[in-house]
């Protein structure tokens, strides 16, 4: 356990009211682009498919989207609509702007609680960003996903650099850790919705809050994105999983199996959650559609199982996804007072 410069509150909710609201300029100390250029992989996969289906006589080998114009539709018309859809998905991946995901650190002197967010102004455009690190650290970290055509996120992805100045206002937000309890903790996120949970999970382990009365609690993170390299902080979470056998990281990658040999979860986060739930612990009538997922069993290599009667849940991401996540958890029988959530609009 490390010494904390942050006061140990019995309740993070009580602590929220005591924090001063601060506006100040902050200097950027670190910027990292987090996703990868996977265009060579995409080209390789498409050429491989064309070869395997003898379509390369007509179409290949291809070297980029100029060669792929119409390929997806033609493959579909030739009798393989699924392959046509996959080529369209890969073309989209090839053509997407780079980078899509960036993390940045800056140096203001702001007290905050793990999970809160700040208002950040850059080039006169203000937006909200969750704080992705633990309050024990002196700096603030944010993690931004580009919204193509958006006013601020493309600027942060393309232009933000060490030495730049931002204005930071905060902290804000009520998505903070619930009071200590003996229950397990389950974090459900899509995309950069994981940012507040990165701060909370770091804080839990740094302060020993992953234990209650000397007993370890299981800490789960289900994180959904399309591609492997869209997973923010994937290496940090894997490292934490290696170090702590009570931390279970379950990435749910909807599109990755098209591009690589990914054989982990590729279902929606709420379905992966059900696949990791202990069937015997579910007493609520959840309906046939959800039961199917529980019976299916996981594709991850996590052997622990969830008990809905014994867990505190946190959900974050874009609004519609958070709504589905919360609904699935409620159907499992988790009482509303054990569910905290925040949507990104």
Ligand X SMILES: Cc1cc2nc3c(=O)[nH]c(=O)nc-3n(C[C@H](O)[C@H](O)[C@H](O)COP(=O)(O)OP(=O)(O)OC[C@H]3O[C@@H](n4cnc5c(N)ncnc54)[C@H](O)[C@@H]3O)c2cc1C
CB of 159 to ligand X, least distance (A): 13
Close Cβ partners of 210 (under 8 Å, ≥ 6 residues apart): 204, 216, 217, 219, 244, 246, 247
CB of 187 to ligand X, least distance (A): 14
**For ligand X, which is the closer residue by CB, 152 or 226?**
152
- Alpha-carbon distance 322 to 167, whole Å? 29
Residue 155 half-sphere exposure toward CB, CA atoms < 13 A: 13
CB of 97 to ligand X, least distance (A): 12
CB of 142 to ligand X, least distance (A): 6
CB of 64 to ligand X, least distance (A): 27
CB of 138 to ligand X, least distance (A): 20
Look at residues 295, 225, 221, 232 and name the one whose alpha carbon lies nearest to residue 266: 225
**For ligand X, which is the closer residue by CB, 195 or 306?**
195
**For ligand X, which is the closer residue by CB, 42 or 142?**
142
**For ligand X, which is the closer residue by CB, 128 or 236?**
128
SS3 124: coil
Q: Where on the chain is the footprint of ligand X (CB under 6 A)? A: 117, 127-130, 142-145, 147, 150-153, 173, 192, 195, 318, 342, 344-345
CB of 154 to ligand X, least distance (A): 6
**For ligand X, which is the closer residue by CB, 199 or 308?**
199
CB of 344 to ligand X, least distance (A): 4
- Alpha-carbon distance 327 to 245, whole Å? 29
Six token digits for residue 288: 């046939």
Task: Give the residue closest to ligand X by C-beta.
Answer: 150
- Alpha-carbon distance 266 to 272, whole Å? 8
**For ligand X, which is the closer residue by CB, 12 or 153?**
153
Q: Nearest 5°: phi and psi at 144? A: -120, 135
**For ligand X, which is the closer residue by CB, 144 or 200?**
144
Residue given tokens 């903790």 in the structure block: 185
**For ligand X, which is the closer residue by CB, 12 or 86?**
12
């Amino acid at each position: 356990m490390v010494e904390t410069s942050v006061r140990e509150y019995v309740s993070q909710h009580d602590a929220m009211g005591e924090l001063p609201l601060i506006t100040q300029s902050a200097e950027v100390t670190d910027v990292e682009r987090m996703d990868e250029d996977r265009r060579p992989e995409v080209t390789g996969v498409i050429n491989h498919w064309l070869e395997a289906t003898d379509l390369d006589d007509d179409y290949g080998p291809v070297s980029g989207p100029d060669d792929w114009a119409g390929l997806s539709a033609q493959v579909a018309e030739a009798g393989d609509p699924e392959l046509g859809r996959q080529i369209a998905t890969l073309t989209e991946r090839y053509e997407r702007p780079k980078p899509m995901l960036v993390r940045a650190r800056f140096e203001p002197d702001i007290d905050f609680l793990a999970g809160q967010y700040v208002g950040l102004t850059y080039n006169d455009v203000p937006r909200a960003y969750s704080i992705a690190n633990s309050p024990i650290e002196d700096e603030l970290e944010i993690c931004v996903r580009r919204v193509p055509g958006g006013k601020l996120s493309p600027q942060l992805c393309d232009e933000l650099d060490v030495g730049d100045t931002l204005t930071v206002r905060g902290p804000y937000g009520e998505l903070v850790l619930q009071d200590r309890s003996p229950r397990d903790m389950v974090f459900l996120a899509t995309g950069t919705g994981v940012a507040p949970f990165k701060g909370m999970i770091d804080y839990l382990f740094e302060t020993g809050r992953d234990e209650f009365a000397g007993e370890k609690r299981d800490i789960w993170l289900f994180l959904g994105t399309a591609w492997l390299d869209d997973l923010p902080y994937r290496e940090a979470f894997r490292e934490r999983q290696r170090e702590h056998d009570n931390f279970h990281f379950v990435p749910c990658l909807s599109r990755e199996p098209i591009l690589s040999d990914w054989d982990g979860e590729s279902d929606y986060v709420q379905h992966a959650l059900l696949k990791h739930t202990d069937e015997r612990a579910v007493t609520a009538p959840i309906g046939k559609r959800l039961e199917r997922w529980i019976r299916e069993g996981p594709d991850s290599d996590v052997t622990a199982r969830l008990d809905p009667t014994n867990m505190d849940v946190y959900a974050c991401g874009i609004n519609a996804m958070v709504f589905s996540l919360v609904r699935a958890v409620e159907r499992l029988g988790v009482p509303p007072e054990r569910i905290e959530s925040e949507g990104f609009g």
